[in-house]
Structures are given as structure tokens and as C-alpha cells.
Amino acid sequence: GSTNRKCPYTELKSDSQKNKRIALAAKDLNIQTAELFYNHQFVNSLDTNIVKLELAKLKIADKDIILDYELKNKNKKQYYNSLIQICDKALIFCNRYQKLAAIDSNIVWEYLLEQQRNNINDQMKQHLPIVLFNIN
């Protein structure tokens, strides 16, 4: 397949290239682990897989790599809030964010950020009600 045409990991020049390679391999590892345990009948009475890969520790070219599959879920709200704050402070508007997301598949989809932004706005309205008075 196409994986054989990739250059060896040790020949990758940038950390970004190495991180992308690790991320792709980590996704494959998660999928293949689920398939492996399913094939070995680690299932419940509904034939649903009961094994979930949460953490994997690897040593790649003498560098310790920890794949934490739960980290993003645990910190998702905080992660989205940070992205919203970055976009607001850097004045990154929707159309520019969409262009960034088109280039880098690791960037969170805009609609997920918009949902979190709406949640923040709703909480702000509850805690800081704004009332308009007509003085005329």
C-alpha cells in the first residue's frame, strides 16, 4: 500500500512531520487494537467490544512517546475554550479559521467551536443579565 512509499521515520526533517506520522500510526493502533480484541471475543452479550485503548507507551528512536487516547476527551471543553480564546484574541475570523482547518486536519471543526462559544454566551447571559432601558 501507500505506507510503503513513505520515507522512514528517522529521515523525517521536522517535528511536525514526525508528529503527523505518530498521530496516523496512533489512529491505526487504536482501530487495530479494537479489531484484535473483538476477534478474540472480548465482547458483551450484545456482541459489542468491551475493550478500549486508553494509553499506550512507545519508544521511538530512543524517545518515549505516550499516546493518551482519553486526554482529548477529558479536556475537550477546556481545549475548545482555549481555541475560542485564541481565535478571539488573534482576531481569527470564521473564514480564516475555515482556511486553516482545510490545511490541517488536526484543527477542530468550526461547528464544535461554535457550539462551545454558544454555551459560553448562554452562561454569560445567565450570570450577567443585560437589561436595556428606554430613556426617551
For residue 1, name the pLDDT band (cuts at 50, 70, 90): very low
CA gap 114, 108 in Å, rounded: 11
Of 53, 70, 87, the domain-final residue: 70
44 and 64: one domain? Answer: yes
Q: Which of 73, 40, 38, 76 is nearest to 55 (CA)?
A: 73
List the grid coordinates of 113: 467551536
Q: Confirm whether 134 is domain-assigned.
A: no
Q: Confirm whether 133 is domain-assigned.
A: no
Q: Where are the alpha helices (DSSP H) in 1-134?
A: 15-39, 71-74, 76-89, 94-103, 110-127
List the grid coordinates of 100: 486553516
**pLDDT on residue 29:** 93
pLDDT single digits (tens) 59-105: 998 888 888 887 666 666 676 666 666 666 666 555 666 555 555 55
Of 46, 70, 94, the domain-final residue: 70
CA gap 133, 131 in Å, rounded: 7
**pLDDT on residue 72:** 63
Q: Confirm whether 86 is domain-assigned.
A: yes
CA gap 51, 69 in Å, rounded: 13
7 and 31: one domain? Answer: yes
11 and 66: one domain? Answer: yes
64 and 34: one domain? Answer: yes
Comparing 2-11, 14-23, 35-44, the range with the smallest average pLDDT is 2-11
Residue numbers of the domain that contains 50: 2-70
Report whether pLDDT(111) > 80: no
Buried residues in 19-58 as b, exposed as e (16+ CB within 10 A): eebbeebbeebbeebeeebeeeeeeeeeeeeeeebeeeee
Looking at the structure of the chain, the number of domains it has is 2
Residue with more model confidence, 103 or 127 = 127
Report whether pLDDT(132) > 90: no
**pLDDT on residue 7:** 93
For residue 49, name the pLDDT band (cuts at 50, 70, 90): confident
14 and 31: one domain? Answer: yes
**pTM, two decimal places:** 0.51
